[in-house]
């Protein structure tokens, strides 16, 4: 009986190992399971404006006093069933937003952003002293959205005829540690939304949130289980520099 050519693949066999496919990419980002985090509630945080009109009026007042408003929001990731999920705040069962807000005009961008994350998600009382609750690890900027006028529309580019935008909103990827205590205001819900739910779903989440899967496509992931072991990862690269090509092929095939 003649042997099969090396390139021939029999159905049911593990797929052949492939060469690494991760050139010019940053190291993979580890995501921990949603069950690793402790969630609590804290005092409600009411919206500053009760209508879109009032919000835009406040934006105009801010612009005339301080110039362009700077807003920072965080994309906080965990995983369920080895798929990235984004932590979002849900208000009144219909409105979704990322944690963060505009930062004071005299505040440093990064420290102002972290202070906003604390305001929105940091626990209070005895939980605030937990060692697992230290700070926020801001990984990198994902996107910039521009508001050219005192209107609701924002764009992922600055229109060429606009030299004085009214607001710039930055989205940052925030790496969550193995464990953390996260507190949600009582008048909001903290939900974990999978990327496949956000993708191409502008009708429910709007253009900014539904674009997050596109923004995250540049990254490679390592998914960690509750025991701290890497159990799945993005194909095409090594895992933490310790796993060889054959091991990767076997693991991705379930071997």
197 occurs within a structural domain: no
pLDDT at 244: 38
80 occurs within a structural domain: yes
96 occurs within a structural domain: yes
Full domain range(s) for residue 92? 33-191
207 occurs within a structural domain: no
CA distance 59 to 251: 52
140 occurs within a structural domain: yes
85 occurs within a structural domain: yes
Q: Where are the alpha helices (DSSP H) in the chain?
A: 52-66, 109-121, 195-198, 202-210, 212-216, 245-252
219 occurs within a structural domain: no
pLDDT at 242: 47
Q: What is the CATH number of the domain that holds 53?
A: 3.90.79.10
Count of beta carbons in the 10 Å neighbourhood of residue 114: 22
52 occurs within a structural domain: yes
In this structure, the strands spanning 100-102 and 69-80 are antiparallel
pLDDT at 141: 97
Do the beta carbons of residue 66 and residue 208 sit within 8 Å? no
Alpha carbons within 13 angstroms on the beta-carbon side of residue 37 total 26
Please provide residue 26's backbone torsions phi and psi, each rounded to the nearest 5 degrees: -70, 165
pLDDT at 126: 63
pLDDT at 57: 94
- Long-range pairs, 148-154, Cβ under 8 A, ≥24: 150/56, 150/59, 150/60, 150/63, 151/56, 152/52, 152/56, 154/208
User: Using alpha carbons only, what angle is made at residue 172 by residues 111 and 138, rounded to the nearest 5 degrees?
Assistant: 55
Please provide residue 172's backbone torsions phi and psi, each rounded to the nearest 5 degrees: -115, 140
pLDDT at 104: 96
Question: How many domains, in total, are found in the chain?
Answer: 1
pLDDT at 8: 62
- In the predicted model, residues of the chain with pLDDT beneath 70 are 1-10, 126-133, 240-255
pLDDT at 248: 41
Condensed to tens digits (0 to 9), the pLDDT of residues 133-188 reads 678 999 999 999 999 999 999 999 999 999 999 999 999 999 999 999 999 999 99
């Amino acid at each position: 009986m003649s042997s099969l050519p090396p390139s021939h693949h029999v159905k049911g066999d593990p797929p052949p190992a492939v060469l690494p496919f991760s050139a010019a990419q940053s190291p993979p980002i580890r995501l921990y399971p949603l069950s690793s985090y402790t969630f609590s509630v804290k005092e409600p945080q009411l919206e500053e404006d009760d209508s879109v009109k009032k919000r835009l009026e406040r934006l105009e007042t801010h612009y005339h006093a301080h110039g362009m408003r700077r807003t920072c929001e965080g994309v906080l990731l965990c995983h369920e069933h080895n798929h990235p999920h984004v932590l979002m705040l849900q208000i009144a069962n219909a409105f979704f937003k990322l944690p963060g807000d505009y930062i004071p005009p005299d505040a440093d961008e990064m420290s102002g952003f972290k202070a906003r994350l604390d305001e929105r998600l940091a626990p209070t009382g005895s939980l605030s002293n937990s060692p697992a609750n230290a700070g926020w690890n801001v990984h990198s900027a994902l996107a910039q959205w521009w508001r050219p006028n005192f209107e609701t529309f924002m764009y992922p580019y600055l229109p060429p005829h606009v030299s004085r935008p009214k607001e710039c909103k930055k989205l940052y990827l925030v790496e969550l540690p193995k464990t953390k205590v996260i507190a949600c205001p009582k008048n909001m819900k903290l939900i974990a939304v999978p990327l496949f739910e956000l993708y191409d779903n502008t009708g429910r989440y709007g253009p900014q949130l539904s674009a997050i899967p596109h923004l995250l496509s540049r990254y490679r992931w390592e998914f960690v289980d509750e025991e701290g072991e890497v159990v799945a990862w993005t194909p095409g690269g090594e895992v933490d520099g310790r796993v060889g090509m054959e091991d990767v092929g076997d693991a991705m095939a379930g071997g």
